[in-house]
Structure 1
Amino acid sequence: MANYLASIFGTEQDKVNCSFYYKIGACRHGDRCSRKHVKPSYSQTILLPNLYQNPAYDTRARSMDASQLQNHFDAFYEDIWCEMNKYGELEELVVCDNNNDHLIGNVYARFKYEESAQAASEALNSRWYAGRPIYCELSPVTDFREACCRLNSGEGCVRGGFCNFIHRKEPSEEMDRSLELATKKWLRARGRDAKSMSRSPSPVPANPRF
């Protein structure tokens, strides 16, 4: 029985634990969910709910065109990427483009080491970003292929921003290349000792808002 329960943990067959929370780290039912949201004691991934204030969903910023919206996101993405690297080697940064309450503006950062995620979670909960307090928690998400909507990157998801799977917002190719090169240079400089607390300076964003 124990082996069976372990094999179905976090799946749709699990009648006790919420599969959506396990896969995505967020559930549309929130505290009202009939199944348990088991928060991990350790994880490589942290979640910063509602951190990205997407101007595309702000009626006061509807005058921004596609290029301005992308530039706004690139600046945010660079900011967060550089900040996360202060805590250890970052493997993946995911920002939600969804417009539903439990996913809007969510930011996930997956580190190489659990110790880095723990350090980031503890430090960021006392920080502010763009004039707003940050809330950060460890997340059960480890595989974003399962968490992200598969239709969104293909023919298009009919649910749009209200999909319950992550619609991943991507930085521009130029920003992606720039951060990749900066990170490689930084890792070479620090000898890839991602667990060391005597870290060399991480990449620095152009206009940080932390």
Structure 2
Amino acid sequence: MAEHLASIFGTEKDRVNCPFYFKIGACRHGDRCSRLHNRPTISPTLLLSNMYHRPDMITPGVDSQGQPIDPRKIQEHFEDFYEDLFEELSKFGEIESLNVCDNLADHMIGNVYLQFKEEDQAAAALQALQGRFYSGRPIIADFSPVTDFREATCRQYEENSCNRGGYCNFMHVKMIGRDLRRKLFGRYKRFNSRRSRSRSRSLSPRKREHRDRERDYKRRSGDRHDRYERDGGGRKRRESPRGRSRSPVRDGSEERRARIEQWNREKEEKEQNQPRED
């Protein structure tokens, strides 16, 4: 029974725990839901509820005065918000992902999901957000159970084929431009690259020698394996100098055992032939 309950946890078959809260960290029934919402006490992901207010929130494509808005202006407004939030919260640690919902349902509209690399970074950010405001509105932040956004996002929306529109119960993630993404998230690639080089330089001479010797062994082993491949009869033939036509085939267990026995015999014969010291 325990294995069965574990296998259906967070799915539609689970009659105890809410699958939507487990997958997207929000439920259209809220506190009135008949199933449990297991709120995490710690998580690398924060949910900032209803934080982003798009300029055409009342009517898509139209501002609050009823005037049409250029889609480019809407995108600029969103990217300004995105960059502002990223710069502020990246002070607490490395951000893995920052997703803003484009849904229209009350429990998802303007939701922001911020995933840090480490849980303690998310905890520090949550502590700093308590009691703060953004654009005159209080920030409502909490830990979220969402850690895998592939299960939370609407695949049909990504393919421009979702027929539920803004009232879909899965995330419609609003996208930023490629240049902005490279600017914000590219810093971590550069930082990790520098950190990797720094660790390499800080190795002691003994460890560096061991690392180089290991690399050299792997390279020679790779060259030795790549130099041969098996033909149809199980024999090895030298590979064409122009490159491999197929991957080398590993020896079977019987061949490996025969080779080991041969090595052992050669070793014993060598030891027997060595002159003994009186």
TM-score bracket for this pair, using the shorter chain length = 0.7 to 0.9
Unaligned runs of 5+ in 1: 193-210
CA contact (8 A) 2:95 2:116 kept: yes
Give the partner amino acid of 1:70. Answer: Q
Cα distance in 1 for partners of 2:27, 2:71 equals 30
Q: In 2, Cα distance between the equivalents of 1:3 and 1:124?
A: 39
TM-score, with length taken from structure 1: 0.85
Equivalences, count: 191
Residues 130-187 of structure 1: CA distance to partner in whole angstroms, max 9, x if unpaired? Answer: 1111010000001111100010011421111110100000112221122133444566
In the TM superposition, residue 33 of structure 1 has moved relative to its aligned partner by: 0.6
Partner AA of 1:42 in structure 2:
I
Residue of structure 1 in register with 2:151 after alignment = 146
Structure with the higher helix share, 1 or 2? 2
TM-score (norm 2): 0.65
Q: Could you give the per-residue CA deviations for residues 100-128 of structure 1, whole angstroms, max 9, x where no partner exists?
A: 10000000011111111111112212211
Q: Residues 52-201 of structure 1 correspond to what in structure 2 (within 5 A)?
A: 52-58=52-58, 59-60=63-64, 62-185=67-190, 191=195
**Matched position secondary structure for 1:57:** coil
Partner of 1:26: 26
Cα pair distance change 1:188/1:135, threshold 3 Å: farther
- What CA distance in whole angstroms lies between the structure 1 residues aligned with 2:191 and 2:83? 15
Q: Give me the whole-angstrom Cα distance separating, in 1, the residues matched to 2:160 and 2:111.
A: 24
The 2-side partners of 1:136 and 1:4 are apart by 34
Higher relative contact order (CA 8 A, sep 6+): 1
Question: RMSD between aligned alpha carbons?
Answer: 1.8
CA positional deviation for 1:57: 1.3
Task: Give the corresponding residue for 1:42.
Answer: 42
Following TM superposition, by how much is the alpha carbon of 1:3 offset from its aligned partner in structure 2, in angstroms?
2.5
Give the CA deviation at 1:74: 0.5
Q: Does structure 1 conserve the Cα–Cα contact (< 8 Å) formed by 2:22 and 2:145?
A: yes
Task: State whether residues 16 and 35 of structure 2, in contact with CA within 8 Å, keep that contact through their aligned partners in structure 1.
Answer: yes
| More off after superposition, 57-66 vs 14-23 | 57-66
Q: Gapped runs of 5+ residues in structure 2?
A: 197-278
